[in-house]
Amino acid sequence: MGRVLITGCSSGFGQLAADELARRGHQVFAGLRQPRRAAPARAHASIRWVELDVTDAAAIDRVVAQMVSQAGGIDMLVNNAGIAAPGALEDLDVDVLHEAMATNFFGALRLTRAVLPIMRAQGAGRILMMSSLSAQVGLPGEGIYAASKAALAAAAESLRFEVDRFGIQVCLIEPGAFATGMPERIAAAGTGPAGSPYRPLLEHLLERARSALGSGDDPQRVADLIADLAEASELQFRYPVGQQAEQVVAALKELDEAARARFIQSVNDTRWWSNGEDEAQDDA
């Protein structure tokens, strides 16, 4: 069975994937940014919960060294840790922009760089990047999140061809809408600073997010996919997962630029905003 390091395991995809991998007999090191505040739902003997903030270089080095010492190597890295930062790009504080990139992109890249020498020495390894459907579709109000995931996807594609000769495989997981805690955090976001010119748009997006709470696919699908990829003989590069992602990826292939713009406006009903209207029109 494999030796797996996975980040962002306090909830959602990460916690479910750690549980599923352990259930199948893999040895799992599950990273938690704030372990004292986290309460993993299940505690398998083969899961070692480790404190790991992917923005902390010293923490990364410590956990990688611990895993090599205790497990003897690293067969698969799952870069799952990520944060949402909803809001208009002009409104968001620059520290928020940096934090999103530091966690979603640079954190994953830093951890990947730390495990690559180990995987090269082994002559084998797998690196799974948790990207997002947002990397392919930049929706209004999700600009920095989309940018961070798109950067991760681009870096992963380059990395794929840099490390394949060493027996290391790289892939992207691209979830659409899932019933995890992230939609709840987005729905709890504010509507920007007082006097923001984007306030009507953000209020509309916030209401849409709140109305969609509880919808989306079962996040266990992503956990199952991660465990399947730990056991597959070969990996493809992209794995859109969930009904929304599969449908959108298929649809985008058929759209020209104008049709793509209309599609993006239709996702959250924002054409009224682009048209200079004061509010969304009720089609009823």
Confidence of residue 244 (pLDDT cuts 50, 70, 90): confident
Buried b (16+ CB within 10 A) or exposed e, 207-219: ebbeeeeeebbeb
The side-by-side arrangement of strands in the sheet containing 125-130 is 47-51, 27-32, 3-6, 76-79, 125-130, 168-175, 238-241
Per-residue confidence (pLDDT) for residue 283, from 0 to 100: 45
| pLDDT higher than threshold 50 for residue 284 | no
One of 13, 105, 145, 198 is an active-site residue; which one? 145
* CATH topology (fold) of 3-244: Rossmann fold (3.40.50)
Q: Which of residues 15 and 43 earns the better pLDDT score? A: 15
Residues of the chain by 3-state class (helix, strand, coil), percent to 5: 50, 15, 35
How many other C-beta atoms lie within 10 A of the C-beta of residue 29?
25
Classify residue 102 by its DSSP letter: I
Per-residue pLDDT of 167-211, as tens digits, reads 999 999 999 887 766 655 665 566 778 889 999 999 999 888 887
Buried b (16+ CB within 10 A) or exposed e, 37-66: eeebeeebebbbbbebbbeeeebbeebbee
Contacts of residue 93, Cβ cutoff 8 Å, sequence gap at least 6: none
Asked if 96 contacts 87 with a C-beta cutoff of 8 angstroms, the reply is yes
Per-residue confidence (pLDDT) for residue 181, from 0 to 100: 62
In the residue annotation, 198 being an active-site residue is answered as no
In the chain, where the domains are located: 3-244
Contacts of residue 202, Cβ cutoff 8 Å, sequence gap at least 6: 87, 88, 91, 141, 190, 191, 192, 196
Per-residue pLDDT of 102-138, as tens digits, reads 999 999 999 999 999 999 999 999 999 999 989 998 8
Confidence of residue 246 (pLDDT cuts 50, 70, 90): confident
Contacts of residue 129, Cβ cutoff 8 Å, sequence gap at least 6: 79, 108, 152, 153, 156, 170, 171, 172, 173
Asked if 144 contacts 189 with a C-beta cutoff of 8 angstroms, the reply is no
Mean pLDDT rounded to a whole number for the chain: 90
Per-residue pLDDT of 65-78, as tens digits, reads 999 999 999 999 99
Distance from C-alpha of 233 to C-alpha of 30, rounded to nearest angstrom: 23
Per-residue confidence (pLDDT) for residue 248, from 0 to 100: 85
Percent of the chain scored above 70 by pLDDT?
Answer: 89
